[in-house]
Structure 1
Amino acid sequence: MVELRKDVEFVGPVVTGFTSAGFKIGDQRFDGGLLISPEQALDWAAGSLDEIDLEQILARLNLSPAPEFLLLGSGSSMVQPSAAFRRKLASAGMGLEVMDSRAAARTWGVLRAEERWIVGAFLPIG
């Protein structure tokens, strides 16, 4: 397990480490996918990048106002989502940042330290 920085004050949940299959937020384990917002962290049962659904993500996180962008962790390696998914994000007025899920989880902490109003959807690592 790799621990992330603990010397920075954050707003909301922040990934503090990784498991073989997923993520840790404090003492809570998320063995699989993770949806995260400045207000909450939730288990996410997304099967693959092709199956992700923006409306489902936003409905589950229920964030107001709408987030600036989606930080998408695409699993063990960086893979871009479909053009249709990117168009849905653009139509919703949101940006998209894609990286592998470990990098996305680390980047989440940096962006939250800047108090950016974002959401994250991280596919399982393993």
Structure 2
Amino acid sequence: MNFKKGIILLTIIFGINVGTIITPMVTNSVTTVQAKKKNPRGKAYVTKHQFRFRGVVKYHGKKWTYYSGSRFADGTRNHGGYDKHGYVIVSAPRSYKFGTKVKTPLGWGVVHDRGTAMTNYHFDVVI
């Protein structure tokens, strides 16, 4: 008996839809791989305009402020507040390595700069 006939037989005998049981087991690995992929311009908590208006945004237990610049400590250039890959440019404390991805109020960001005022809970984004 092949697999397809076995599923049909189980459906007829027990009256259950085996597809609802098997599908999550088959697609679970695909779903988790897709979930790990980060969208650089993913859901933003605030817009740039709202961020400028507020000045300070508290998000996920962190204090976020903004600044402007054209070149950063790791050599990255500013492309409208984003790096060449589309991530928000972030200035973080020394405990964060360059290239670390961080969730910001404007979407996903990458650490490209350091700041003297940056502490464990204070971050800057480039606008």
TM over 0.5: no
TM-score range, shorter chain: under 0.3
TM-score (norm 2): 0.27
- Greater length-normalized contact order (CA 8 Å, ≥ 6 residues apart): 1
Q: Computing the radius of gyration over CA atoms, which structure comes out larger, 1 or 2?
A: 2
